[in-house]
Amino acid sequence: MTDLGGTRGYYASFDRREWERLETPQGRIEFELTTHFLAKTMPESGRVLDIGGGPGRYSRWLCDMGYQATLADLSPNLLDIARAEFGEDRIREIVEADVRDLSRWSDNTFDSTIALGPFYHLTSAADRRKALEELMRVTMPGGTIAVALMSKYALLRRTLSIRDERHRMAEASFVEALLSRGTYDNPIPGRFTEGYGVEPSKAAKSFEEAGLITEIVAFTHGFATGLEDQIENLRSEDPDAYVSTLEVLKATATDPSLLGTAGHLLYIGRNAPR
Which pLDDT does position 13 carry in this prediction? Answer: 61
Q: Across all residues in the chain, what is the average pLDDT?
A: 91
Which is nearest to 67 in space by CA: 87, 51, 50?
Answer: 50
- Asked if pLDDT for residue 213 goes beyond 90, the answer is yes
- What does DSSP assign to residue 101? B
The reply to whether 157 falls in a domain is no
Which pLDDT does position 11 carry in this prediction? Answer: 59
In tens, the pLDDT along 83-123 reads 988 766 789 999 999 999 999 999 999 999 999 989 999 99
The reply to whether 245 falls in a domain is yes
Which pLDDT does position 251 carry in this prediction? Answer: 96
The reply to whether 168 falls in a domain is no
Q: What is the CATH number for 48?
A: 3.40.50.150
The reply to whether 129 falls in a domain is yes
The whole domain housing 242 covers: 5-150+202-271
- How many Å apart are CA 180 and CA 78, to the nearest integer? 33
Confidence category of residue 14, pLDDT binned at 50, 70, 90: low
Which pLDDT does position 192 carry in this prediction? Answer: 77
Confidence category of residue 9, pLDDT binned at 50, 70, 90: low
Number of domains in the chain: 1
* Cα-based distances in Å from 222 to 93, 131, 248, 253: 33, 27, 9, 5
Cβ pair 100, 52 in contact under 8 A: no
The reply to whether 167 falls in a domain is no
Which pLDDT does position 10 carry in this prediction? Answer: 58
Q: Is 75 exposed, middle or buried (0-12, 13-18, 19+ CB in 10 A)?
A: buried
The reply to whether 158 falls in a domain is no
Instruction: Report the greatest alpha carbon distance in the chain.
Output: 52
- How many Å apart are CA 165 and CA 60, to the nearest integer? 35
In tens, the pLDDT along 134-166 reads 999 999 999 999 999 999 998 888 899 889 899
